[in-house]
């Protein structure tokens, strides 16, 4: 008879604790199967989640969530945590519209304490919580789980430094799988096979003498159940001595942390025993856990980078998910093409080589390609340095992660006027990742910075022109484009760029004008077609430049219309529409002007097509805006 799945019995961490130790490997297998099944359908972070199944089981066995609190860095590896904290039944809705979030969400569960999505925040947040608990006299441990990728972010170092100083009993689980999305960058990352490693953490623990002593004391310690804690403390002191004598101090010890590890993160019993001892320490501690990204799913183990995040199965007709001609691909090919002719072009990414389309560039120009780790601030200022040295850097970054580097853009690039190209992918509405990943704010954050140019392509030919233009300009240029199919062959969009000016896509000489830009060019053309099939003709103008805008040219153009509607795929507040509304006011233009963008709210997860619909920014929605504003004039235009 088929046994009832163990998962059916577990709707809380308490239930998990009731399972005998011997059932845990089977439970881990059930969780893995569940994750693989759902994520291959819905999309999501596959390899990262498969790597922490045992670790998460051990964490929930040893600690008492929600009295003890977990802070997951990035939060992309929280699927087992969600399954074990009462969300297995709804797990198959993960990342879908109105479904479970792919990241921790406070309003989803009391077990999700901190909301995340961006990397390297966990230690800061966890430290704040433990300080808060101690001031309020509340019980409970705080455990930050951070990967070797996320720990490369500057914030993590800032927090480590502070945490070591405060000496609160913060526990940091350092999940070391040697991978960020691509192979990890830098001296702090290490290899699972520690004996072969040349990295910092492994180097210090890889000498034979150290290994032997460490093995001996670890085994001795862990096999004594009752005296474990006393012995553990003694061993800690000894290990410190061993390290001090043989290996100097580790960077973590230097910062004031007790350092434990590395231990096998797939051994539930080993992790459990270590955590039980660590739990009793009254000082900051780092537990170095070695895991395998993609564990248990051969394809993901062999190719963790491709399986870091997988796309959902595309809905019929969802071109954004199946198209090979995305904005990202057009960007990657064009930059690599220009770099053949111009040896001063160099490319920088902050751990998003594939996502930003720089793979081809890396393969063709390995010496001119730089992955700086999850370090957007550094990437931008590093780009400034490259430009100051006479090179032409392009820093490719997602719009949402560029939020990290506002000051670096102002202080290091814009004030000195350095020719750095910032290519912002995923600008606008972003599928499935929810609030933290929407590219809604770059226009309002950056448009007011003096001396920069911001361009947004609507088609492939326009994009190529803009990339070429960016590298030939003497100052900073930002490009913004969505994760979407990139249309090609649209009238007008191949015309040469004139600074501050756009181009007409349709011009029939009537009284209503639709202004569009970037990812909304395709949707606006659909709106024009929808209206035209009802016998309504409007003009369509593609702005091309978000900044600068040639005010005189634009106000002359606007004054030829009665009704003007602008649509933009960015925050409506502080966006291009507001800028043009001020222009209309200042110039005293007597037109009906209306603008639409992303409303002032954090948009939840859904597909880009669903989000466009929600904001009224798809073809149908834009047609509705036009009819509403220009209704009377449209009927006049039609009848005349
Ligand atoms: C600020 C920021 N930049 C980039 C990303 C994209 N990102 C998500 S997960 C990830 C890799 C994280 O690597 P690691 O912490 O080692 O976790 P793993 O997936 O290997 O378990 C990256 C770069 C992000 N979430 N936040």
Ligand 1 atom with the smallest distance to the CA of 176 is 16
Contact by Cβ (8 Å): 364, 514: no
SS3 for 546?
A: strand
SS3 for 541?
A: strand
Q: Which CATH class is domain 503-639?
A: alpha beta
What's the pLDDT score for residue 230?
60
Å from CA of 147 to ligand 1 middle: 8
Percent with pLDDT over 90 in the chain: 81
What's the pLDDT score for residue 244?
45
Å from CA of 352 to ligand 1 middle: 9
HSE value, Cβ hemisphere, 13 Å, CA-based, for 50 = 31
Q: Ligand 1 within 6 A of 53 CB?
A: no
DSSP labels, 23-61: GHHHHHHHHHHHHHHHHHHH-B-HHHHHHTHHHHHHHHH
Residue of 72, 180, 372, 380 to mutate, ligand 1, most atoms within 8 A of C-beta: 180
* Lookup result for tokens 């792919």: 102
Short-list 312, 354, 301, 300, CA closest to 331: 354
Whole-model pTM: value is 0.91
Q: Ligand 1 within 6 A of 437 CB?
A: no
Q: What residues are paired with 396 via a beta bridge?
A: 349, 423
The pLDDT of 388-406, averaged and rounded, is 98
Please report, for the chain, the start and end positions of each structural domain, with discontinuous segments joined by +. Answer: 22-302, 319-480, 503-639
Residues 6+ apart with CB under 8 A from 303: 294
Ligand 1 atom with the smallest distance to the CA of 73 is 15
What's the pLDDT score for residue 40?
94
E strands along 43-166, which residues?
69-72, 142-147
Residue with CA closest to ligand 1 atom 17: 147
What's the pLDDT score for residue 632?
60
Phi and psi at 423, nearest 5°, equal -100, 110
SS3 for 149?
A: coil
What's the pLDDT score for residue 312?
81
Å from CA of 179 to ligand 1 middle: 9
The pLDDT of 129-137, averaged and rounded, is 98
Poorest-pLDDT segment among 31-45, 151-165, 191-205, 603-617: 191-205
Q: Which helix (H) or strand (E) holds 422?
A: strand 421-425
The pLDDT tens digits for 432-456 are 999 999 999 999 999 999 999 999 9
What's the pLDDT score for residue 249?
46
What's the pLDDT score for residue 242?
57
The pLDDT tens digits for 188-207 are 654 444 333 334 444 444 44
Q: What is the DSSP letter of 174?
A: E
Structure tokens at 639: 């009848």
Q: Ligand 1 within 6 A of 401 CB?
A: yes
What's the pLDDT score for residue 576?
98
Name the band, by pLDDT with cuts 50, 70 and 90, for residue 185.
confident
The pLDDT of 14-35, averaged and rounded, is 97
Q: Which CATH class is domain 22-302?
A: alpha beta
What's the pLDDT score for residue 496?
96
Query: What is the CA 100 to chain-centroid distance, rounded?
Result: 18
- Above 60 in pLDDT, residue 590? yes
Q: Using CA atoms, how far apart are residues 353 and 398, in angstroms rounded to an integer?
A: 11
SS3 for 399?
A: helix
Q: Ligand 1 within 6 A of 291 CB?
A: no
Q: Using CA atoms, how far apart are residues 175 and 63, in angstroms rounded to an integer?
A: 17
Phi and psi at 156, nearest 5°, equal -65, -40
Q: Ligand 1 within 6 A of 119 CB?
A: yes
How far CA 221 is from CA of 105, 224, 238, 490, in Å, comes to 38, 6, 12, 70
What's the pLDDT score for residue 243?
55
What's the pLDDT score for residue 204?
45
The pLDDT of 389-411, averaged and rounded, is 98
Of residues 226 and 607, more confidence is placed in 607
Ligand 1 atom with the smallest distance to the CA of 304 is 20
Q: Burial-class residue 367 by CB neighbours within 10 Å (0-12, 13-18, 19+).
A: exposed
Residues annotated as catalytic (active site), given as ranges: 293, 376, 404
Structure tokens at 109: 């569960």
CA dihedral 367, 372, 373, 374 (to 10 degrees): -140
- Above 90 in pLDDT, residue 633? no
Å from CA of 74 to ligand 1 middle: 6
The pLDDT tens digits for 74-113 are 999 999 999 999 999 999 999 999 999 999 999 999 999 9
Q: Ligand 1 within 6 A of 399 CB?
A: no
Q: Ligand 1 within 6 A of 118 CB?
A: yes
- Above 90 in pLDDT, residue 120? yes
Contact by Cβ (8 Å): 542, 503: yes
What's the pLDDT score for residue 194?
37
Q: Ligand 1 within 6 A of 405 CB?
A: no
DSSP labels, 210-269: HHHHHHHHHHHHHT-SSSHHHHHHHHHHHHHHHIIIII---HHHHTT-EEEEEEETT-HH
- Above 90 in pLDDT, residue 368? yes
Poorest-pLDDT segment among 161-165, 219-223, 442-446, 528-532: 219-223
Name the band, by pLDDT with cuts 50, 70 and 90, for residue 323.
confident
- Give the mean pLDDT of the chain: 91
| Topology at the third CATH level for domain 319-480 | Rossmann fold (3.40.50)
Poorest-pLDDT segment among 233-237, 269-273, 378-382, 492-496: 233-237
Percent with pLDDT over 70 in the chain: 87
SS3 for 563?
A: strand
Domains 22-302 and 503-639 share a fold: yes
- Above 80 in pLDDT, residue 636? no
Structure tokens at 427: 């600008």
What's the pLDDT score for residue 215?
60
Q: Using CA atoms, how far apart are residues 591 and 408, in angstroms rounded to an integer?
A: 39
């Amino acid at each position: 008879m088929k046994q009832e799945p163990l998962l059916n019995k577990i709707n809380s961490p308490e239930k998990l604790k009731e399972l005998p130790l011997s059932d845990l490997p089977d439970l881990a297998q059930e969780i893995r199967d569940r994750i693989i099944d759902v994520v291959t359908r819905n999309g999501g972070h596959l390899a990262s989640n498969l790597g922490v199944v045992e670790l998460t089981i051990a964490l929930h066995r040893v600690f008492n969530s929600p009295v003890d609190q977990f802070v997951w860095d990035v939060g992309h590896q929280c699927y087992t945590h969600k399954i074990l904290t009462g969300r297995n039944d709804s797990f198959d809705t993960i990342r879908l519209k109105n479904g479970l979030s792919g990241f921790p969400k406070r309003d989803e569960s009391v077990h999700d304490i901190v909301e995340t999505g961006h990397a390297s925040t966990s230690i800061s947040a966890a430290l704040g919580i433990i300080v808060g608990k101690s001031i309020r006299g509340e019980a409970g441990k705080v455990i930050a789980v951070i990967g070797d990728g996320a720990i490369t972010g500057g914030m993590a170092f800032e927090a480590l430094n502070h945490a070591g100083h405060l000496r609160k009993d913060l526990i940091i689980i350092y999940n070391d799988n040697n991978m960020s999305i691509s192979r990890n960058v830098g001296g702090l990352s290490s290899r699972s096979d520690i004996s072969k490693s040349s990295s910092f953490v492994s180097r210090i623990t890889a000498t034979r003498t150290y290994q032997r002593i460490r093995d001996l004391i670890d085994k001795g310690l862990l096999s004594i159940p009752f005296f474990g804690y006393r012995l553990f403390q003694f061993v800690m002191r000894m290990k410190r001595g061993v390290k001090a004598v043989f290996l100097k101090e580790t960077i973590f010890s230097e910062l004031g942390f007790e350092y434990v590890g590395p231990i096998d993160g797939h051994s539930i019993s080993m992790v459990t025993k270590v955590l039980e001892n660590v739990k009793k320490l009254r000082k900051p501690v780092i537990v170095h856990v070695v895991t395998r990204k993609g564990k248990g799913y051969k394809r993901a183990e062999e190719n963790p980078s491709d399986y870091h995040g997988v796309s959902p199965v595309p809905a019929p007709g969802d071109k954004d998910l199946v198209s090979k001609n995305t904005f990202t691909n057009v960007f990657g090919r064009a930059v690599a093409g220009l770099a053949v002719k111009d040896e001063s072009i160099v490319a920088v990414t902050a751990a998003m080589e594939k996502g930003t389309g720089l793979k081809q560039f890396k393969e063709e120009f390995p010496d001119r390609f730089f992955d700086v780790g999850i370090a957007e601030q550094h990437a931008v200022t590093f780009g400034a340095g490259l430009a100051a040295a006479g090179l032409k850097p392009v820093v490719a970054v997602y719009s949402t992660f560029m939020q990290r580097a506002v000051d670096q853009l102002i202080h290091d690039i814009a004030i000195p006027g350095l020719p750095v190209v910032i290519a912002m992918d995923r600008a606008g509405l972003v599928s499935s990742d929810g609030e933290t990943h929407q590219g809604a704010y770059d226009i309002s954050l950056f448009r007011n910075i003096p001396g920069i140019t911001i361009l947004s392509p609507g088609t492939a030919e326009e994009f190529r022109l803009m990339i070429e233009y960016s590298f030939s300009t003497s100052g900073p240029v930002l490009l913004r484009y969505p994760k979407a199919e990139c249309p090609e062959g649209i009238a007008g969009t191949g015309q040469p760029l004139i600074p501050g000016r756009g181009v007409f896509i349709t011009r029939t000489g009537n009284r209503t004008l639709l202004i569009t830009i970037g990812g909304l060019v395709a949707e606006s053309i659909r709106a024009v077609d929808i209206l035209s099939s009802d016998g309504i003709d409007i003009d369509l103008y593609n702005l091309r430049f978000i900044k600068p805008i040639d005010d005189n040219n634009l106000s002359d153009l606007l004054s030829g219309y009665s009704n003007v509607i602008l649509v933009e795929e960015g925050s409506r507040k502080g966006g291009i529409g507001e800028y043009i509304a001020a222009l209309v006011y200042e110039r005293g233009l007597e037109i009906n002007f209306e603008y639409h963008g992303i409303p002032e709210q954090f948009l939840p997860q859904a597909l880009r097509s669903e989000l466009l619909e929600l904001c009224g920014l798809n073809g149908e929605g834009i047609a509705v805006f036009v009819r509403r504003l220009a209704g009377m004039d449209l009927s006049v235009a039609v009848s005349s």
